[in-house]
Amino acid sequence: MSIPSTQYKIEVGKFGRVTLPSKLRKAHDIKEGDLLTLYETDAGLRLQTSQEQLEEIHSLVSPYLQGVDSPVEDFLAFRRKEAEAEAEEIKRWEQ
């Protein structure tokens, strides 16, 4: 875990509520109603946005996906070929 470059003191309010400083909310694109994940680790507490979680998961998984065909890309390639064939057929009917 990296050492934080900026430190904030946050007061815990009634019912355990905390308010994140607006500077942090803007920097991490956190809006009202967003869900954050709080991790308890040996090093302490860690708060993460959904986008940060996705980026972390992607960085962990992507080395294992090198050279693996994507089902989405396969589907899109299939649909492109299908669209080309349909366009050719339309041209033939128009002649």
Is residue 46 within 8 A of residue 38, CB to CB? The reply is yes
pLDDT of residue 63: 79
Q: Does residue 36 have a pLDDT over 90?
A: yes
| Per-residue confidence (pLDDT) for residue 16, from 0 to 100 | 94
- What is the pTM (predicted TM-score) of this model? 0.54
Burial string for 19-39 (b: 16+ CB within 10 Å, else e) reads eeeeeeeeeeebeeeeeeeee
Pairing between β-strand 36-41 and β-strand 44-49 as defined by DSSP bridges:
antiparallel
What's the mean pLDDT when you consider all of the chain? 87
Cα atoms found within 13 Å of the Cα of residue 89, Cβ hemisphere only = 6
Q: Which has more confidence, 76 or 95?
A: 76
Handedness of CA 22, 26, 32, 33 (dihedral sign): negative
Mean pLDDT, residues 55-73 taken together = 79
| Residue 86 CA: distances (Å) to CA of 44, 74, 80 | 59, 18, 10
Rg (CA), the chain: 24
Percent of the chain, pLDDT > 70?
92
22 pLDDT more than 60: yes
